[in-house]
Homo-oligomer: A and B are copies of this chain.
């Protein structure tokens, strides 16, 4: 059934969202890029279509993007997380919301600055209520890695959420775009993935490397949930 669900990428005009939209479209999924600016979303979508040689991506505003999708991927900056999602609460009911939000607080983005409560994703789940199945993923994958379709991404994806079935679905999606998804606990455990992004930025700076990532060791090579 790979490639059957339509995936909305809110913030898909940014680097991280654009990279994920590209990967999902390349893997055969219909993708709708959402943005506050529908014209910019349409432009980003047409670039992806050009790049993959298929007309599989379209762009529109965030509300329209959610309406047409089964899976919604949130990739806006932390400062825009709640204000992007809150007006979409009704439209998100019953859907899986993959939240890739990292609580980076500029200018000190290499410092872990977790929000009150400990996790941006867990806070969003609490705000939206149980009718929206929020799953944390993709915080540690560099946008540059995602944009480079010719290379494997040397980074695991920690997948956290309170709904086990939704987590399983997200791991399937992660694997569909060639990454390894690992179930890492309930929504609050997203704190680890959120904190790790600042650690990876600190490592990039200290060791003068472009993009560090993480791997979980000790798992069998092809472990399924």
Binding site for B on A (CB under 8 A): 110-114, 118-119, 154-155, 158, 182-186, 188-189, 191-192, 195-196, 198-200, 202-204, 206-207, 209-220, 223, 225
- Residues of B contacting A185 in the complex (Cβ-Cβ under 8 angstroms): 110-112, 198-199, 202-203
Residues from chain B with a CB closer than 8 A to the CB of A110 are: 185, 189
For A210, give the chain B residue with the smallest CB separation: B218
Copies of this chain, whole number: 2
| CB <8 Å contact, A195 and B192 | yes
* B-side contacts of A209, CB under 8 Å: 218-220
Contacts of A217 in B (CB 8 A): 154-155, 212-215
- Which residue of chain B is the closest to A155 with respect to CB atoms? B217
Residue of B182, B192, B203 near A182 (CB, 8 A) is B203
A199 in contact with B203 given A112-B119, A118-B118, A216-B214 (CB within 8 Å): no
Q: Are B215 and A215 in contact (CB under 8 A)?
A: yes
Q: Which residues of B contact A188 (CB under 8 A)?
A: 111-113
Collect the chain B residues with CB atoms within 8 Å of residue A196's CB: 192, 196
Q: Roughly how many angstroms separate A184 CA and B199 CA in the complex, as a whole number?
A: 5
In the complex, what's the smallest C-beta–C-beta distance from A106 to chain B, in angstroms?
16
| Chain B: CB-nearest residue to A224 | B207
B contact residues around A206 at 8 Å (CB): 183, 225
Cβ 8 A contact of A114, one of B191, B210, B214, B219: B191
Evaluate contact between A216 and B189: CB separation under 8 angstroms: no
Given A112-B118, A114-B118, A196-B196: A202 in contact with B219 (beta carbons within 8 A): no
